[in-house]
Amino acid sequence: MADNSTTSETPSATQAARKIYKIVKYPDPILEKPTAPVTKFDAELEQLAEDMFASMYAAQGVGLAAPQIGLSVRIAVVDVTAGKNPEAKIVLANPEIIHAEGEKREEEGCLSVPGFRGYVMRPHFVTLRAQNAKGETFEMRGEDLLARAFCHEIDHLHGILFLQHLSMLRRDLIKRKIKKLIKKGEW
Ligand code: NI
């Protein structure tokens, strides 16, 4: 998910050794493919999660799912403070929404669809169950932007982009514009 705020900076706490992944863009087919569950919780997975945070901050996003870095695995990272609060870092391995409440329609963007936004209806409150990078199960409730980010990233893990939630008119307009950009070599 793309950052909603106007000011974003790379956090100073990010270790220099982190791998910054290139973000996969629509219409790469990996973005529309359901992911495989995480089964191995080891040092490699913890490193992947940290690299995903670093890649997300570098791209000024508030959420990033593994398919967006070319890995069809059920893991995503979320930080709605965009790196400003280290305690806001959330790793979501094998997440599922267990409760949703209310509705809220807000503009949304995605690092894999850069430059385009659209209004998407999402639950106002969401409770999810997931595992952290160590494999420990937790439940977490999110409101507003956090609820939106949870839904957006879990969608990614099921091969669903925010474009699918837009009106057909808006979606087709964005797809046409992207096609033009691809033709011009500007995508
Ligand atoms: Ni996204």
Lowest model confidence (mean pLDDT) among 11-15, 44-48, 71-75, 118-122: 11-15
- Alpha helices (H) in the chain, listed in sequence order: 43-58, 145-157, 168-183
Centre of ligand 1 from the C-alpha of residue 154, in Å: 10
Per-residue pLDDT, 82: 87
Closest CA to 76 of 111, 115, 28: 111
Q: How confident is the model at residue 170 (pLDDT cuts 50, 70, 90)?
A: very high
Dihedral (CA of 21, 1, 154, 165) sign: negative
pLDDT at 19: 95
Q: Flag whether pLDDT at 12 surpasses 90.
A: no
> What whole-number distance in Å separates Cα of residue 187 and Cα of residue 183?
8
Residue whose entry in the numeric block shows the structure tokens 């669809």: 113
Give the model's pLDDT for residue 117.
95
CA of 153 to the centre of ligand 1 (A): 6
Confidence of residue 160 (pLDDT cuts 50, 70, 90): very high
Give the pLDDT of residue 65.
98
- Express each pLDDT in 13-45 by its tens digit: 445 579 999 999 999 999 999 999 999 999 999
In the predicted model, is pLDDT for residue 150 greater than 60?
yes
Q: How far is the CA of 98 from the centre of ligand 1 (A)?
A: 21
Q: Which entry of 87, 107, 153, 186 is annotated as an active-site residue?
A: 153
User: CB atoms < 10 A from the CB of 44, how many?
Assistant: 9
> Average of pLDDT values for 99-112?
97
pTM (predicted TM-score): 0.91
| Residue 55 phi, psi dihedral angles, 5° rounding | -70, -40
**Structural domain boundaries of the chain?**
13-184
State the CATH architecture for 13-184: Alpha-Beta Complex (3.90)
Average pLDDT, the chain: 93
- SS3 at position 36: strand
